[in-house]
Structure 1
Amino acid sequence: MFSAATSRRSRLAYSTLALLLAGAAGAINATSFFAFGQHITHMTGHVTAVGEAVASGQWGDALTAGQMVFAFVVGAVTATALLDASRHRTRGRHAAALLVEVVTLGGVGLWVHEHPDANESTLMWGLAFAMGLQNALVTRVSGAVVRTTHLTGVLTDIGIQLVRMVVWVRDGARERGLRGIWHKVLDLPSAEQFERTRLHLGLALAFLTGSILGTGLYLRYGASAMALPCVVLVVVMALDISPAGSRAPAASL
């Protein structure tokens, strides 16, 4: 997942960033569903909706779904431009993109809190924009390995890696019998070749945890639940701006 030149501290920083953002995305997705009746963090369904609407001649519905996809792409473009503009900084390289996401999510949450019956399409555009921005940010940081706004690829990789883990443990049995199996199992939590697997398992759990917390907070506090992902993003910003953030190699961007 990471190059050999990437320090352990940098790998930990990237993993922490990805896990926190996956949790935020899960909370946003859950909150969006309860507020607007749509999951917002992944675009597959919206692209499908465009195709269905075009095929059935429902041009208004096609335009609505297409606008969601467009907003997501604009978010990705925005994040990439901000990252390129800040790539020479020693710290805070992600802060500008994260700040835009916080302001966008906070604005949507505040508007829905003040207008609880509002179901304006522009609010969903804002959420789609924020998720496109976040997805592009993590994609650039991880070298196109990690996505935090959807889990299809993550779950696929987990399935593939689980088989590789079983094969790895089985090879231990061939080498040293039961003792070999035992040593291989003990080595699983630290084996370098399964670092990506552990991260993907963490991403799935973080997204699920965010979904649970987002749902619980929305059912109890309404649109104020959007404060949760905003707080998480502010924490990520603080980590990025801190002296520790300067240790991450700029080449990842």
Structure 2
Amino acid sequence: MFRHRDRGRTYYHNVRLAALLSTVAGTVNIVGLLSLKTLTTNVTGHFAYFSEGLFLKNYTLAFTSVLYVLFFFVGAFVANSTMELTSKNKSHFSYMLPISLEIICLAVVAFSDLLLSNILLPLGCILLFTMGMQNALVTKISGSVVRTTHLTGLFTDMGIELSQMLFYKKDSERSRLKKNVFLRVIIISGFFIGGVIGALLHKEYHLRTLLIPVGMLILAIYYDRMLLNYYHWRKKIKLVSRKKRMKQ
């Protein structure tokens, strides 16, 4: 799901990646909104709040909005930088560091009542940083095919592609469009499901609800690691059997 890149990546790898990380994003977004009263996956909204702050001469709001945008940007920068650095040695695990950082950041916010006494500004910055990392990570891995932290572009692309299906008649073109639309539906559905689950559980668990995306990411890393070990084991078995046949 994470380790395949470029030509080794298939459409179904992107579908699984989109389903997982869009659900994570949806959960983080609703928990950030309910607990911190801030958008954690929507940079566009913070630009609107910045403009509102200037208009109302509420410079605290304007400064906070700029800070949130900056942290989202820094998250994207850090994710790509760590992937570039680690891919030189072990390309299969270039995703490990940004995902590990995402897990740590979400866990810190989840237990922030023990660490930061629920100071909203730094917690919001951490979540914006986390979502910036995730957006850069999934964009890098999928070759800019999948983005999971905002829906505006997805609905735009899906509207265009559904319209194109009315005019494109070749089977190859229609097949490509159907796959693209299905991928958009998966992302939107994952974001929606994550939001609903997060909202329902937030009543009881508040910021601890973020432990759900933490658990999902840990399981995803474990699954990818196990799958890689299985492929290595299968290659060794084939190599041993080939050597035996050569000796015979």
Identify whether the pair has TM-score above 0.5, normalized to the shorter chain. Answer: yes
Distance in 2 between the 1:73 and 1:205 partners? Answer: 26
Q: How does 1:13-52 map to 2 (within 5 A)?
A: 13-52=13-52
**How far 1:206 moved relative to its partner?**
0.7
Q: Residue 179 of structure 1 corresponds to which residue in structure 2?
A: none
1:104 aligns with 2:105: yes
Q: Residue 177 of structure 1 corresponds to which residue in structure 2?
A: none
**How far 1:117 moved relative to its partner?**
7.3
Task: Say if 2:68 and 2:125, in contact at 8 Å, map to a contact too.
Answer: yes
1:198 aligns with 2:182: yes
TM-aligned CA distance change 1:246 to 1:97, over 3 Å: farther
- Superposition RMSD in Å: 2.7
Distance in 2 between the 1:199 and 1:240 partners? Answer: 21
**How far 1:243 moved relative to its partner?**
4.2
Unmatched 5+ stretches in structure 1: 173-183, 248-253
TM-aligned CA distance change 1:78 to 1:226, over 3 Å: same
Q: Residue 211 of structure 1 corresponds to which residue in structure 2?
A: 195
Opposite residue 11 of structure 1, the aligned amino acid is: Y
Distance in 2 between the 1:158 and 1:207 partners? Answer: 15
Distance in 2 between the 1:141 and 1:245 partners? Answer: 20
Task: Say if 1:90 and 1:246, in contact at 8 Å, map to a contact too.
Answer: no
Distance in 1 between the 2:140 and 2:32 partners? Answer: 25
Distance in 1 between the 2:175 and 2:13 partners? Answer: 19
Q: Which whole-Å deviations, capped at 9, do the CAs of 1:10-33 have from their partners, x for residues lacking one?
A: 332232122200100000011111
Q: Residue 222 of structure 1 corresponds to which residue in structure 2?
A: 206
Opposite residue 100 of structure 1, the aligned amino acid is: L
**How far 1:54 moved relative to its partner?**
2.3
Q: Residue 232 of structure 1 corresponds to which residue in structure 2?
A: 216
Unmatched 5+ stretches in structure 2: 1-5, 232-248
Q: Residue 85 of structure 1 corresponds to which residue in structure 2?
A: 85
**How far 1:51 moved relative to its partner?**
2.1
Percent of matched pairs sharing the same residue: 27
Distance in 2 between the 1:83 and 1:159 partners? Answer: 33
Distance in 1 between the 2:227 and 2:189 partners? Answer: 29
Q: Residue 53 of structure 2 corresponds to which residue in structure 1?
A: 53
Aligned length, in residue pairs: 225
Distance in 2 between the 1:246 and 1:60 partners? Answer: 53
Opposite residue 17 of structure 1, the aligned amino acid is: L
Opposite residue 55 of structure 2, the aligned amino acid is: A
TM-score by length of structure 1 reads 0.80
**How far 1:241 moved relative to its partner?**
3.2
**How far 1:53 moved relative to its partner?**
1.6
**How far 1:98 moved relative to its partner?**
0.3
